[in-house]
Amino acid sequence: MIEIQNVRKSFGSLEVLKGIDLTVNKGEVLTIIGGSGSGKSTLLTCINGLEPIDAGRILVDGTEVHAKSTNLNKLRSKLGIVFQQFNAFPHLTVLENVMLAPRKVLGLTKEKAEENAIKQLTHVGLGEKLGVYPTRMSGGQQQRMAIARALAMSPEYMLFDEVTSALDPQLVGEVLDTLRMLASEGMTMICVTHEMKFAREVSDRVAFFHKGVMAEIAAPEALFGAPKDPELQKFLAATH
Amino acid sequence: MFSYTFHWNQALKALPQMLDGALVTLQVALLSMVIGLALALALTACRLSGNRILGGFATAWVEIARNTPALFQIYMAHFGLGNFGIHLSPYTALLAGIAFNNAGYLAENFRGALKAIPDTQTRAGRSLGMTPVQAFRYIVLPQMLRIAFLPVTNQMVWAILMTSLGVTVGMNTDLAGITQELNARSFRTFEFFAIAAVIYYLIAKAVTLGARLLAARMFRY
């Protein structure tokens, strides 16, 4: 369970999160929508401790992310994150990209890590690309590799930060299909996305962020079918 | 108009001796690069440490190495330190001077290479649970070395040519030192130095070519 309690965060004088309260249960798929600058991506990077917070707290299975005593490196292996930019490691092959962290962080043997990496890569449809360098692949393939790389750490939660925003339109589908597959397998996921159709069909709940505030959260039918917040109504009218 | 008669035969007879010297030249240059690379990595670590004393030390080193003549650096290692009772042999002083120079230039090459690697690479490594040191070692460092590879090759060529400055501190076993002695005995200056120049040229070319082949094998991406 991820518990976000009254989290505040500023960059300089700009407050990007103005007291967020949110709980994500095991097995749940939560999507976060909202305009740019609404704070939705910042929240994700706060959840896995890549960004410090100014007030409030975030608990992952009861462990406080920003507590001094927390071993963040250990906690992060529980929390996979995939970014808008794929961040493939260009000097490693696809297989090596996926094997690196399990070997160095989890201490798996080369054989174990390789077996696991092949399994994950096959799972996301890259079983044929093991020896290829990422720069030779399309953006969609690189992004699926990044997903496999995160999954290879056997995370209990996956955070997706606008993972299709940097892709050419014709490549968005293959990445969304991968996310759908994960959701159907019961992975707990928080997806920040601009893909409304995807959010509607895959989510258990959808949250709408506006200017650092979670303005509305509801099941997708309710949120898209009968939006209450006036800003959400405007947002949906503009995106449809 | 010319009254000079070339005596190439006499000069070419000394070729084996000069080639022995070329080996010493290559040895000094290689050692200076190995030491220089290790020092440059240490200087880079100092600069990245965020510690002001370590960072200042590294910056001072780089500034002096890059903005004073290599000749002075070698002089300092031999005669300068001699004033303080530290007596380095010509060989050691030459090696120390070039290694000092190499370290400064290489550290600057590394800095440029690091700038070309986006922060998001480290971030991605950290998000997978790596420590800052692991992320640097397994993600940033290999990319840095690749970007810096060609400038490092240049520095290697430069190191080979710098060894000729050893003559000024009494180095007499390398190519320049031996050539200078042969010249002093025979006054066949043009012939000996022309042959030495060709040997320097060939060594430098061989290094560049070798580096290119090595790069093609090592960097497949």
Q: With pLDDT > 90 as the criterion, what percentage of chain A qualifies?
A: 91
The predicted pLDDT at position B4 comes to 79
Residue B130 lies in a domain: yes
Cα–Cα nearest to A8, from A50, A47, A56: A56
**Residue B170 resides in a domain:** yes
Pick the more confident residue, B218 or A210: A210
Q: Report whether pLDDT(A229) > 80.
A: yes
Q: Is B143 on the interface with A (CB under 8 A)?
A: yes
- Does some domain include residue B3? no
Contact list in B for residue A137 (CB cut-off 8 A) is: none
Q: Is residue B20 part of a domain?
A: yes
CB atoms A105 and B143 under 8 Å: no
Nearest chain A CA: its distance from B127 CA (Å)? 6
- For residue B145, tell me if it sits in a domain: yes
Helix axes A139-151, A110-123, angle to 10 degrees: 130
CB contact under 8 A, A77 and B123: no
Q: How far apart are CA A125 and CA A148, in angstroms?
A: 10
Residue B83's pLDDT is 87
Residues of B in contact with A85 (CB under 8 A): 120
* Domains contained in chain B, number: 1
Per the structure block, which two tokens stand in for B195? 């042959």
Does B1 map to a domain? no
The whole-number pLDDT of residue B3 equals 78
* CA distance to partner chain A, nearest, from residue B197 (Å): 39
Quote the pLDDT of residue B82. 85
Question: Is B2 contained in some domain?
Answer: no
The closest CB to that of B134, out of A48, A104, A106, belongs to A104
Using pLDDT thresholds of 50, 70 and 90, give the confidence band for residue B9. Answer: confident
Dihedral over alpha carbons A85, A87, A88, A89 (to 10 degrees): 160
Structure confidence at residue B8 (pLDDT): 84
Q: Which amino acid is at A198?
A: F
Q: pTM for this one?
A: 0.83
Q: State the Cα–Cα distance between residues A208 and A183, nearest whole angstrom.
A: 20
Q: What pLDDT score was predicted for residue A139? A: 94
Q: Is the pLDDT of residue A44 over 90?
A: yes
Expressed in percent and rounded to 5, the helix, strand and coil fractions of chain B are 85, 0, 15
Taking contacts as CB-CB distances below 8 angstroms, the residues of chain A near B121 are 87, 89
The answer to whether residue B50 scores a pLDDT higher than 90 is no
The structural domains of chain A, ordered by start, are 2-78+156-239 (3.40.50.300), 88-151 (no CATH)
Q: What is the mean pLDDT of chain B?
A: 93
User: What confidence score (pLDDT) does residue A240 get?
Assistant: 67
Q: Which of B14, B72, B24 is nearest to B192 (CA)?
A: B14
Give yes or no for B131 touching A (CB within 8 A).
yes
Q: Is the pLDDT of residue B40 over 90?
A: yes
Spell out which residues of chain A touch residue B132, defining contact as CB-CB under 8 Å: none
Q: What is the pLDDT of residue B42?
A: 95
Written as six digits, the tokens of A198 are: 């995807």
At B123-165, the pLDDT tens digits run 999 999 999 999 999 999 999 999 999 999 999 999 999 999 9
**Would you call A100 and B124 a contact, using CB atoms and an 8 Å cutoff?**
no
Closest chain B residue to the Cα of A83, Cα to Cα: B124
Is the distance from CB of A100 to CB of A92 less than 8 angstroms?
yes
Average pLDDT over residues A187-216: 94
Residue of B nearest to A134 (CA): B221
| Burial of B4 from C-beta contacts in 10 A (0-12 / 13-18 / 19+) | exposed
Across the range B46-63, mean pLDDT stands at 94
pLDDT tens for each residue of A130-169: 999 999 999 999 999 999 999 999 999 999 999 999 898 8
The count of CB pairs under 8 A between chains A and B is 59
| A-chain residues near B120 (CB < 8 A) | 83, 85, 87
Output DSSP code: residue A11: E
- Give me the pLDDT at residue B221, please: 73
As a whole-number percent, the residues of chain B with pLDDT over 90 amount to 81
Q: Does B129 touch chain A (CB under 8 A)?
A: yes
Tell me, what's the pLDDT at A134?
95
Domain with B201, as residue range(s), is 8-218
Give the Cβ contact number of residue A72 at 10 Å.
Answer: 17
Which pLDDT band holds residue A128 (cuts at 50, 70, 90)?
very high
Q: Which residues of A fall below an 8 Å CB-CB distance to B?
A: 48, 50, 73-74, 76-77, 81, 83, 85, 87, 89-91, 100-101, 104-106, 133-135, 146, 149-150, 153
Write the DSSP symbol of residue A61: T
Q: Which residues of B touch A135 (CB under 8 A)?
A: 221
How confident is the model at residue B1, as a pLDDT? 63
CATH number of the domain where residue B120 is located: 1.10.3720.10
Least confident of A64-68, A73-77, A99-103, B133-137: A73-77
> What is the per-residue pLDDT across B60-91, written as a single tens digit (0 to 9) for each?
999 999 999 999 999 999 998 988 989 999 99
Please tell me if residue B59 touches chain A, with a CB cutoff of 8 Å. Answer: no
Residue B22 in contact with residue B179, Cβ under 8 Å? Answer: no
pLDDT over 70 percentage in chain B: 100
* For residue B13, pLDDT beyond 70: yes
Q: Say if residue B12's pLDDT is above 90.
A: no
Chain B, nearest residue to A72 by Cα: B129
Q: Return the residue in B117, B123, B127, B140 with the most chain A beta carbons within 10 A, the one to mutate for interface testing.
A: B127
B121–A contact, CB cutoff 8 A:
yes
Instruction: Show the DSSP H helices in chain A as ranges.
Output: 40-47, 72-76, 94-104, 110-123, 139-151, 169-184, 196-202, 220-225, 230-239
Judge whether B191 lies within some domain. Answer: yes
